């Protein structure tokens, strides 16, 4: 495992969201790389600090002001629409739905044939692209796509 991969997966590692295989690969890298070990320790310290700190409390006046603003805005939100306006919106929505259905009905079979021909190669390409994109946001919640990409990468190395 490379340092860039550790950097991308370190947030998930600290949160305990890595599968066993990528976790073992990351831990093996941490034993030999002081820089990555320091990065993971920093994440652990930040997580601990956030867990121990209390969320900020709003001032009591804040809730009074928020309620007053909501009450001021309420009459404007209650304006009645005319029946004609509602029918125009309904008619527009019906035409938009019909156009979208027609587009899906015409274009889906064409795209579906292309997808069938591309097969697993396309899936690997999409997962690889997504994993590369996610690796540039190490603190974001990157979900299962990155774990799948790491699993595919580790399988390819073996």
- Considering the entire predicted model, what is its pTM? 0.37
Cβ atoms 12, 140 nearer than 8 A: no
pLDDT of residue 145: 56
Question: Domain locations in the chain?
Answer: 3-54+85-157
Q: What percent of the chain has pLDDT over 70?
A: 66
pLDDT of residue 154: 63
Is the pLDDT at 148 greater than 90, yes or no?
Answer: no
Q: What is the pLDDT of residues 67-78, one digit of tens each?
A: 888 888 776 655
Q: What is the pLDDT of residues 111-139, one digit of tens each?
A: 666 666 666 566 666 777 766 666 665 54
Compute the mean pLDDT over every residue in the chain, rounded to the nearest whole number. 78
pLDDT of residue 80: 62
- With 0-12 CB in 10 A as exposed, 13-18 as middle and 19+ as buried, what is 40? buried
């Amino acid at each position: 495992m490379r340092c860039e991969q550790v950097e991308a997966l370190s947030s998930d590692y600290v949160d305990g969201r890595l599968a066993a295989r990528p976790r073992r690969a990351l831990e093996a890298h941490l034993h030999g790389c002081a820089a990555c070990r320091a990065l993971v320790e920093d994440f652990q310290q930040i997580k601990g600090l956030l867990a121990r700190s209390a969320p900020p409390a709003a001032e009591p006046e804040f809730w009074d002001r928020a309620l007053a603003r909501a009450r001021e805005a309420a009459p404007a939100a209650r304006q009645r629409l005319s029946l004609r306006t509602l029918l125009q919106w309904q008619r527009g929505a019906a035409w938009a739905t019909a156009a979208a259905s027609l587009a899906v009905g015409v274009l889906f079979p064409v795209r579906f044939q292309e997808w069938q021909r591309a097969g697993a190669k396309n899936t690997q390409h999409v997962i690889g692209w997504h994993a590369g994109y996610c690796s540039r946001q190490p603190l974001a919640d990157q979900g299962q796509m990155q774990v799948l990409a790491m699993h595919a990468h580790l399988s390819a190395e073996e």
